[in-house]
Amino acid sequence: MPKNSKVTQREHSGEHVTESVADLLALEEPVDYKQSVLNVAGGAGGKQEAAEEELDAEDRPAWNSKLQYILAQIGFSVGLGNIWRFPYLCQKNGGGAYLVPYLVLLIIIGIPLFFLELAVGQRIRRGSIGVWHYVCPRLGGIGFSSCIVCLFVGLYYNVIIGWSIFYFFKSFQYPLPWSECPIRRNRTVAVVEAECEKSSATTYFWYREALDISNSISESGGLNWKMTLCLLVAWTIVGMAVVKGIQSSGKVMYFSSLFPYVVLACFLVRGLLLRGAVDGILHMFTPKLDKMLDPQVWREAATQVFFALGLGFGGVIAFSSYNKQDNNCHFDAALVSFINFFTSVLATLVVFAVLGFKANIMNEKCVVENAEKILGYLHTNVLSQDLIPPHVNFSHLTTKDYTEMYKVIMTVKEDRFSALGLDPCLLEDELDKSVQGTGLAFIAFTEAMTHFPASPFWSVMFFLMLINLGLGSMIGTMAGITTPIIDTFKVPKEIFTVGCCVFAFFVGLLFVQRSGNYFVTMFDDYSATLPLTVIVILENIAVAWIYGTKKFMQELTEMLGFRPYRFYFYMWKFVSPLFMAVLTTASVIQLGVTPPGYSAWIKEEAAERYLYFPNWAMALLITLIVVATLPIPVVFVLRHFHLLSDGSNTLSVSYKKGRMMKDISNLEENDETRFILSKVPSEAPSPMPTHRSYLGPGSTSPLEPSGNPNGRYGSGYLLASTPESEL
C-alpha cells in the first residue's frame, strides 16, 4: 500500500477507512501491468481464467505485415479446387451459364459469411472453439465440429499433395513416363500393355503406375509403398511449415501463395499460343441457358463457394484472430473473395485453352484413324469410290473434308452405316468430355502437356504449382485444428502440432491403399459437405439471430471506425440463412434419392464403372457425418441442462495500464461503481456486455440469463481491455 494513502495514514488512528477506488488507483505505485492481475474469486481458492485469457490475448502472436496476412488468407482459400473443381463444374454445368449462379451465391452467401468469419475472429481473437463459445455458449459445439471437419479434409487433402509430389519427381525425365504405353515382352514378342492399349497412356499411368488401383473399395489390395512414402514427405513439409504457428507458416506463404500465379500466367500465355486454344475458351464461355434453372447446378455452385472461401473450416477465423483490432477486415473480405474468383476464372481459361489444344489433337487423331477405315472399305469394295467427294485428298485430310465425307456415307449407307463403325470426329464432342476432379489434373491436363515442346519443364512447373496450392490450403486447415485447441486447452504448440501431423499420417494410410482413391472420393464428396453446410448455417444463426445483427453491426462500427453497408445486415439476417436452409434440404434429399457411389477403375475392361458404396462403406460414411456434427447437439444439451461448467461462479478483475489511465481521467466520485464495471460516462455503452470476461469453453453467453444474484452476466467484472470491454 502506498505510504501516503488514506489507509496508511489512518491505520493507527482507528478511523473507518473510506478510501475511494479513484484514490487507490491514483496513488498506486507503477507496476508491470502485463504481469499484474487483480483477481477476486467467488469460489474456494479463486480462479484466474479471465486474467489468463487477457494476458494470453496480450501475448498472442501477430502477423508481421498486412501483406503476410492477406497472402495467408489467399493461400488458404485458393486451393486445388480452383484448378480442377471449378473448371470441371463449368464444363459440366453449361460453361458460361454456370458463372451466373456462382456469382449470385458468392455475393449473397460467400462474401457476407466470409466477412462475418473475419470479423468475429479479429474481434474475439480466438480460434473457432473460443469464438463460437463466446457468441453463444450453447452453440459452442460449432467450433469442435469445425475442427473435426478440418481433420477429415486434411487427411485426404494431403494425400492429393502426395500424388502431386509423385508426379513432380517423375517429371524430371524425357520423354515423360506417361507419354507412351509400356511395352511388355512375351518371350521374343513385344506387345503393348493391354490395359494401356484399351485406354490411354496417361490414364494407364494414373490408375496403374501411380495408384495401382483395385477394382472396388472392398478390395483393399494392401499399401501402395510409393504413395505411402510421398504421403510421409507431404506431412513432413506441412509439419515444418506449421510447427511454429504463424511465425513459420507466414513466411512460407510468401512463396506458396504467389508462385501459383506465376505458373498460371505462364500457362495462360503458352496456352493461348497453342492451336485450338480459342476453340476451348469459346466453348467455355458459350452458355447453355437451360442449366441456369437446374437446382443441382445451384447446389453445386453453393458447395463450391463454401469450399473456395474456406467457410466453416475455422481456418479463416484462426488467421483473422492474429490481426490487430483496428484492421479493416471489411476490405479484406472483398479483396480475398475477388482474388479467389479471379483465380478460378484464370485457372478455367488456362484449363480450357489447354483442353482446346488437346481436343484438336484428339480430333485429328480420330480423323486419321477413321480415314484409314474408309480406305480399307474402298480397297475391299465395301464402299464405292463415288461416295468420296472429288476434292478430298486422303494424304492431307482436313476435319472439314472428313465431316463432309462422313455425312455422304451416312446418307447413302443409312441401312448399314452402323456396321461400318465410323466416328463423327466432332470437336464439340471432345470438348464436352468432362473429366472430374483429380482426373482433370492427372489425366486430361497431363496428357495435353505431353504434346508441349519441352514437356518436362511444363510438367515440373504444373505439379510444383499443385504442391504449393495444396500446401497453402493445408496450412489454413491445420490452423483450423491447432489454433482453437491451443487457445482453449493451453497445450504446448510445437508438441501438439507435431502430434497432429504424426496422427494424421498414420490415419491417412487408409488413403494410400490400392483402394485409397475410393476413400478419397467418400471423404471429398460426402463426409465433409453436409456437416460443413450445417456449420455455416449455425454460424450465421448464432450471430444474426441469437447474438443479434444490430449489436454485431454496432460492434463492427466501433471496431472498424465506420459502419459496414446495410447490405450485410439483410444478408446475415434473412437472405443467407434462407438460401443455406434450402441448400441443406437439397443436399439431404440428394443423398436420399441418389445413393452415394464412386467411379471404380475396372482393370480387365480398362474403363471406369460407377458403383454404389457397399453397406459397410455406407455405415462408415454415415458415421463420419454423425461424428462431424455430434459436438453441436452434445454441447447444446450439456449447456442447456447445466451439465457442463460455464465458469459463471468466478469473480475476476484484471487490469491494464493503458485502459485504466484512460478511464480514470474522467472518473468522478459517484462513478466508482461504473468504473469497476468498465462503464465510463464519457463513453457510449457497447452493444456487447462490457464487463463479461472471456473464460474459455466454460463461460456463459451474454445473451443467456444467469441465476447468479450478481446480475444476468454472473459475477465477472472486468477492467481490462479484453475483446469484450473494448467494444
What is 91-109 written as a DSSP string?
Answer: HHTTGGGGHHHHHHHIIII
Domain that holds residue 394: 362-432
Gap between the Cα atoms of 532 and 371, Å rounded: 52
Q: Is residue 373 part of a domain?
A: yes
Residues 553, 627 within the same domain: yes
CB 463 within 8 A of CB 168: yes
Q: What are phi and psi of 286, to 5 degrees?
A: -80, 110
Return the residue matching grid coordinates 459452442: 140
Query: Phi then psi for 708, rounded to 5 degrees?
Result: -70, 135
Set of cell numbers at residue 634: 452434445
Do 376 and 510 share a domain, yes or no?
Answer: no
649 is in an annotated binding site: no
**Are residues 289 and 247 part of one domain?**
yes
Residue 553 in domain:
yes
Q: Give a yes or no: residue 10 inside a domain.
A: no
Residue 160: pLDDT above 90? Answer: yes
- Mean pLDDT confidence for 294-317: 89
AA letter at 602 = I
Q: Is 222 marked as binding a ligand?
A: no
Whether residue 340 is annotated as binding a ligand: the answer is yes
User: Smallest Cα–Cα separation from 311: which of 484, 466, 109?
Assistant: 109
Dmax over Cα atoms in the chain, in whole Å? 131
Residue 65 lies in a domain: no
Distance CA 332, CA 129 (A): 23
Tell whether 681 is covered by a domain. Answer: no
- Pick the last residue of a domain from 383, 403, 432: 432
CA 519 to CA 227: how far, in whole Å?
15
653 annotated to a ligand binding site: no
User: Final residue of a domain: which of 597, 621, 644?
Assistant: 644
What average pLDDT score do residues 329-348 get? 94
- Cα–Cα distance between 569 and 108 in angstroms, integer? 11
Residue 651 lies in a domain: no
Q: Average pLDDT in the 233-248 region?
A: 92
My answer on whether 251 and 392 are in the same domain is no
Residue 561 sits in the same domain as residue 413 = no
Residues 6+ apart with CB under 8 A from 660: 25, 33, 719
> Are both 231 and 376 inside the same structural domain?
no
| Inside any domain, residue 524 | yes
- Provide the 8-state DSSP code for 574: I
Q: Binding site annotation covers 383? A: no
Query: 321-325, 503-507, 648-652: lowest mean pLDDT where?
Result: 648-652
pLDDT: which is higher, 189 or 668: 189
- Same-domain pairing of 164 and 97: yes
CATH number for position 199: 1.10.4160
Residue 652 or 447, more confident? 447
Both 347 and 369 in one domain: the answer is: no
175 and 279 fall within a common domain: yes
Question: Are 421 and 336 found together in one domain?
Answer: no
384/26: higher pLDDT: 384
Element (H, E) at 249: helix 246-272
Domain assignment present for residue 408? The answer is yes
Residue range 392-415, pLDDT digits in tens: 888 788 888 888 888 888 888 777
Contacts of 380 (CB under 8 A, 6+ apart): none
For CA atoms 9, 12, 13, 17, the dihedral sign is positive
473 in a labelled binding site: yes
Answer whether 425's CB lies under 8 Å from 363's CB. yes
Question: What does the pLDDT look like over 616-640, one tens digit per residue?
Answer: 999 999 999 999 999 999 999 999 9
pLDDT at 318 over 50: yes
Indicate the pLDDT class of residue 41, thresholds 50, 70 and 90. Answer: very low
Q: Which of 237-246, 415-424, 523-532, 644-653 has the highest mean pLDDT?
A: 237-246
Determine the Cα–Cα distance for residues 496 and 307; give it in Å rounded to an integer.
26
User: Which sign does the torsion angle of CA 144, 150, 153, 156 carry?
Assistant: negative
Indicate the pLDDT class of residue 546, thresholds 50, 70 and 90. Answer: very high
The predicted pLDDT at position 437 comes to 67
pLDDT at 495: 95
Q: Does residue 220 sit in the same domain as residue 304?
A: yes
Distant-in-sequence, close-in-space partners of 30: CB < 8 Å, separation ≥ 6: none
What is the pLDDT at residue 715? 34
Q: Which cell numbers in the block locate residue 366? A: 480420330
Ranges of beta strands (E only) in 207-357 are none
- For residues 696 and 693, give the distance between their C-alpha atoms in angstroms, rounded to a whole number: 9
397 and 350, same structural domain?
Answer: no
Distance of CA 449 to the CA centre of its chain: 28
* Number of separate domains in the chain: 2
- What does the angle CA 103 – CA 273 – CA 85 come to, to the nearest 5 degrees? 35
Full 3-state SS string of 445-499: HHHHHCCCCCHHHHHHHHHHHHHHHHHHHHHHHHHHHHHHHHHHHCCCHHHHHHH
